[in-house]
Amino acid sequence: MLLPETECLPVNAADPLSKEEIHAAIEGLTGADFKRARRWASRRASNLPGWTGDDLLSEAMCKLLAGERVWPRNVRPLIVLAGIVKSISSNVRKGTASGAIDHNVRVDADIADEEFDHTQHGVDSIDNRTPEASVEAKSELIALSNLLKGDDHVELVAMAWMDNLRGKEAAEAVGLDEKTYDAARKRLMRKLDEHRANGRSA
């Protein structure tokens, strides 16, 4: 999936942000941006043994600061953080499945990898076609189905998302008018917010 987050500025993986620039970029995030990043990380941490979303997000920032990951210039913070969170969670899942975690192995193939390679020393690509990944995904889909059960419209929106459809196109595909679709979309977003689901305010 291509995420148009560079606002027409060229992505330059060969010219990553310096440590000072990374500090400034993260410290400049708004409360809403932190919340977005935490919600995404929280979703990525679901069914991840021993990890919370905040653990994943903190680890992603740590990897940037420790120089284990690079931040290509002109890529927005949420895209960078989301990609690293995705990689970490994939690595943890693979490590859990194989019974051994090698924290020194860095894996690329992030969300925005179609646009750039933001690892310094990436060695393996994430291959989601392994039997373990397939079992894991099935488990996640079952959990998602249980979470959404009872709200037909929300389930339809989720199905549209699985087909990579959004907005008007998604509404048409699942046979909902735009207003109904948008209301269901908002309910889906709320259901996916684990902090809310767990009754925590943060």
Partner 1 sequence: MTQKITPTNSYETFLDVYLQELIDSPDSDILEGLDPEAEKAVGLKLFAAAKKEAGRRRLVHARTAIAKNMSQANFLEVSISPAEARAFIRSAMNDSRFTMAARQLDELSDEDALRIYMQIKELQTSGSSGSNGGL
Q: Name the residues that contact partner 1, by CB under 8 A.
A: 1, 3, 5, 26-27, 29-40, 43-44, 54, 57-62, 65-66, 78, 82, 86, 111, 128-129, 133-134, 136-138, 140-141, 144, 158, 161-166, 185-186, 189-190, 192, 201-202
Give the nearer residue to partner 1 in terms of CB position, either 17 or 37: 37
Minimum Å gap between C-beta 117 and partner 1 is: 18
Phi, psi for 199 (deg, rounded to 5): 80, 15
Give the nearer residue to partner 1 in terms of CB position, either 1 or 8: 1
Q: Where are the beta strands (DSSP E) in 36-159?
A: 72-73
Minimum Å gap between C-beta 57 and partner 1 is: 6
Give the nearer residue to partner 1 in terms of CB position, either 82 or 92: 82
3-state SS class at 107: strand
Give CA–CA dist 96/5, Å, rounded: 32
Q: For tokens 């690329």, what's the residue?
A: 108
Side-chain-side CA neighbours of 149 within 13 Å: the count stands at: 7
In the structure encoding, which two tokens stand for residue 175, read together? 């046979």
Minimum Å gap between C-beta 128 and partner 1 is: 4
Beta bridge partners of 107: 124
Beta bridge partners of 157: none
Q: What is the CA radius of gyration of the chain?
A: 18
Minimum Å gap between C-beta 123 and partner 1 is: 18
Give the nearer residue to partner 1 in terms of CB position, either 33 or 117: 33
Give the nearer residue to partner 1 in terms of CB position, either 27 or 150: 27
Minimum Å gap between C-beta 73 and partner 1 is: 19
